[in-house]
Amino acid sequence: MGNASTSDGFVAFDRVQKSYDGETLVVKDLNLSIAKGEFMTMLGPSGSGKTTCLMMLAGFETATSGEISLDGRPINSVPPHKRGIGMVFQNYALFPHMTVGENLSFPLEVRGMGKSEREKKVKRALDMVQMGKFAGRRPAQLSGGQQQRIALARSLVFEPDLVLMDEPLGALDKNLRERMQYEIKHIHNNLGVTVVYVTHDQTEALTMSDNVAVFDDGIIQQLAPPDVLYEKPDNAFVAAFIGENNTLRGKVDGVNGTTCTVRLDDGSEVKALKVNVAGDGVRTTLSLRPERVVLGEEAASMPNRFEAEVLELIYLGDHIRVRMNVCGDDEFIVKVPNNKGGRDMKVGQKAPVGWAIEDCRALDPS
């Protein structure tokens, strides 16, 4: 799987902007490069411009400025039907007046393919999503998950190099969604097709993608593989958006190479990794994953140590979420494994907490 940092990717957005009303930019200065065969996910809150980007790529919206290129060719002025990009819509958009077989055969027909070849390909595509027996049904006679499979098969049957999916699993229940995630990933691996996937479900993004572009406010906040995104968020938005996150706010008070000292608003001092701070004296947000905080005696060996009070215990089966007051923050979460030590915790109890410098990232103020 390629890495998105190559400048001449298979799909490239070059300084793309988009405005619908001429007053506000929905997409601001988008630069994105997607390698061939990559599974790229656009993740972001509602209204952040993900669908807009996808529509520009598919050709249903025109970029207000900037250039989009596919396989080295600029496609700004190529109409959608000539782009040869497969697409899965959120509501599937299966043609209700055609059977499943006719739906799949449609893209082949409009390409002027012969009947026997069409039938072969339709069959192969249906078998790929384990729907071989349903060719004669109408979409209305299928369940949501089955429709989803057909939509997937239809977007792949004409063998496009690039497939776009706009929240394709949004309408499915949790179990089915997880199974489909696996199947889509499986198909992607088998076919080697490039996928651009839109979702606002971070778990989905993390489990499926080679690279995730986190969108907010029309800007890509960070583009990175899932593990990097989680472990090393570039800014406060990404840290808060991906996974659970403790934030502590304060001011930088001394920089030392790659680390810095931060004086929190309640006066306590924290040593953190200097990631996204301009220098001495600026405000910063510290980001710290709950599972990286250690509780009890082990905290003694940590460079950052504080006395904390247990405010709430939430039982989650395999682990216990402990809400604590740390450095004046009442929303500080620590995850404790469900073992003897964890079960013995009481609300109101005082306990030491601590964490390593590498686990605490000093980011932009938020």
Partner 1 sequence: MAQADATLMDTGGPAAKRGGTEKLVTADGVPLKRALERAQRRRKLVALGLVGPLLLFILTVFVFPIAQMMWLSVSNPQVVNALPRTLEALQDWDGRDLPPEPVYAALHADMVEDLERERRDRLTGPLGIRLNYEISAARSAISRTARQVDSFEAPFKDAFMDAHRLWGQPELWRVIKREGRPLTTSYYVAALDREFDEFGNIVQRDENRRIYVSLFGRTLMLSVIITAMTFLLGFPIAYYMSILPMRHANLLMICVLLPFWTSLLVRTSAWIVLLQQQGVINSGLVGLGIIDDANRISMIYNMTGTIIAMTHILLPFMVLPLYSVMRTIPPSYMRAAKSLGATPSTAFRRVYFPQTLPGIGAGGVLVFIISIGYYITPALVGGQSGRMISNEIARHIQQSLNWGLAAALGTMLLVGVLALYWLYNRLVGADSLKLG
Ligand X SMILES: Nc1ncnc2c1ncn2[C@@H]1O[C@H](COP(=O)(O)OP(=O)(O)OP(=O)(O)O)[C@@H](O)[C@H]1O
- Which parts of the chain fold into alpha helices (H)? 50-58, 100-109, 115-128, 144-156, 174-191, 202-208, 226-231, 236-241, 340-343
Stretch that binds ligand X, among 2-10, 40-48, 271-279, 347-355 (CB under 6 A): 40-48
Question: What track of x and - describes contact with Mg ion for positions 164 through 183 (by CB under 5 A)?
Answer: --------------------
DSSP secondary structure letters along 157-220: TT--SEEEEESTTTTS-HHHHHHHHHHHHHHHHHH--EEEEEES-HHHHHHH-SEEEEEETTEE
Considering only residues 91-130, where is the footprint of partner 1 by CB under 8 A? 91, 93-97, 106-107, 110-111
- Using CB distances below 5 to 8 A depending on partner kind, what does residue 47 bind out of Mg ion, ligand X, partner 1, none? ligand X
The one of ligand X, partner 1, Mg ion, none whose footprint includes residue 95, by CB under 5 to 8 A per kind, is: partner 1
Q: Which is nearer to ligand X, 146 or 221 (CB)?
A: 221
Q: Nearest distance from residue 176's CB to ligand X, in Å? A: 20
State which residue has the least CB distance to Mg ion: 51
Q: Which stretch binds partner 1 (CB under 8 A): 89-97, 120-128, 312-320, 329-337?
A: 89-97
Is residue 22 near partner 1 by the rule CB under 8 A?
no
Judge contact between 8 and 178, C-beta under 8 A.
no
When computed from its CA atoms, the radius of gyration of the chain, rounded to whole angstroms, is: 24
Nearest to ligand X of 62, 338 (CB atom)? 62
Within residues 13-72, the interface with Mg ion by CB under 5 A covers 51
Phi/psi at 140 (5° precision): -65, -20
Judged by CB under 6 A, does residue 49 bind ligand X? Answer: yes
Cα 24 to Cα 120: distance, rounded to the nearest angstrom:
48
Q: How far is the CB of 42 from Mg ion (least distance, A)?
A: 9
Question: Pattern of binders to ligand X over 183-202, x per CB under 6 A?
Answer: -----------------x--
Site of tokens 């606002």: 200
DSSP annotation of 235 reads S
Question: Which residues are CB-neighbours of 76 under 8 A, at least 6 positions away?
Answer: 62, 63, 67, 68
Burial class (CB in 10 A: 0-12, 13-18, 19+), 71: middle
Q: Give the length of the chain.
A: 366
Those residues whose C-beta lies under 8 Å from the C-beta of residue 74, and which sit 6 or more positions away, are 67, 68
Which residue lies nearer to partner 1 by CB, 160 or 250? 160
- For partner 1, which is the closer residue by CB, 154 or 271? 154
CB count in 10 Å sphere of residue 193: 20
Q: Return the one option of Mg ion, ligand X, partner 1, none that residue 20 interacts with (CB less than 5 to 8 A, by type).
A: ligand X
32 binds, among ligand X, Mg ion, partner 1, none (CB under 5 to 8 A by kind): none
Buried b (16+ CB within 10 A) or exposed e, 246-277: bbbbbbbeebeeebbbbebeeeeebbbbbbbb
- Is there binding between residue 148 and ligand X (CB under 6 A)? no
116 is a contact residue toward ligand X (CB under 6 A): no
- 8-state DSSP, 78: S
212 contact, one of Mg ion, partner 1, ligand X, none, CB 5-8 Å limit per kind: none
Q: How far is the CB of 334 from partner 1 (least distance, A)?
A: 45
Binding site for partner 1 (CB under 8 A): 58-60, 79-87, 89, 91, 93-97, 106-107, 110-111, 154-155, 158
Give contact residues for ligand X (rule: CB under 6 A). Answer: 20, 26, 44, 46-52, 200
